[in-house]
Amino acid sequence: MPFGIKPAAEEYQRRQHEVLQGLRGISVIADDILVYGSGETTEEAVKDHDNNISALLQRAREVNLKLNKWKLRLKLPSVTYMGHLLTTEGLRPDPEKLFAQEWDFNHETSSPYNSQSNGKAESAVKIAKTLLKKAALDGGDPWKAVLAWRNTPTEGLDSSPVQRLMSR
């Protein structure tokens, strides 16, 4: 696949869907393959699951598909898969996703020229850029400018950045 022609992840997923097409009890998302079984009883579901795994392994042999043995999880009572928790009782949202909602996490995006997502970090970057520009214009040593900034107490605080860094 030539670089820049097709995104590799989408191409891989498309080929994986083609290769595994027609197999029952298999779900493919990205590079993850979920094998499941269904039935009226637990024994029927386990038997169906085992048959589906056998069919997957047979197909993988036929098309020379390499599977990562370190990612294998076999016959688990519950599985977290693509933001959902799959159990014998049914489908539920992933508890980690609920945690983020319960604590009201807010994902903010910002443009590079109007940064506002992490105020302190953005402020430090702005200060560093200004220091380096001034040092370049004055012909001074940029390292001395940074050293002076690190040793100067911050307005509103009684310590300098280096004192806070060293916990002194």
Q: Which two tokens stand for residue 142?
A: 């940029």
**Residue 64 or residue 121, greater confidence:** 64
**Residue 103 or residue 69, greater confidence:** 69
Q: How confident is the model at residue 114, as a pLDDT? A: 66
Looking at every residue in the chain, the average pLDDT score rounds to 84
CB 20 within 8 A of CB 59: yes
| Dist CA 113 CA 110 (whole Å) | 8
pTM of the model: 0.54
Distances (CA, A) of 106 to 83, 93, 117, 162: 18, 19, 10, 31
Q: How confident is the model at residue 168, as a pLDDT? A: 65
Helix axes 8-20, 42-63, angle to 10 degrees: 110
Helix (H) or strand (E) holding 35: strand 32-35
Mean pLDDT on 124-151: 88
CB 35 within 8 A of CB 12: no
Distance of CA 160 to the CA centre of its chain: 35
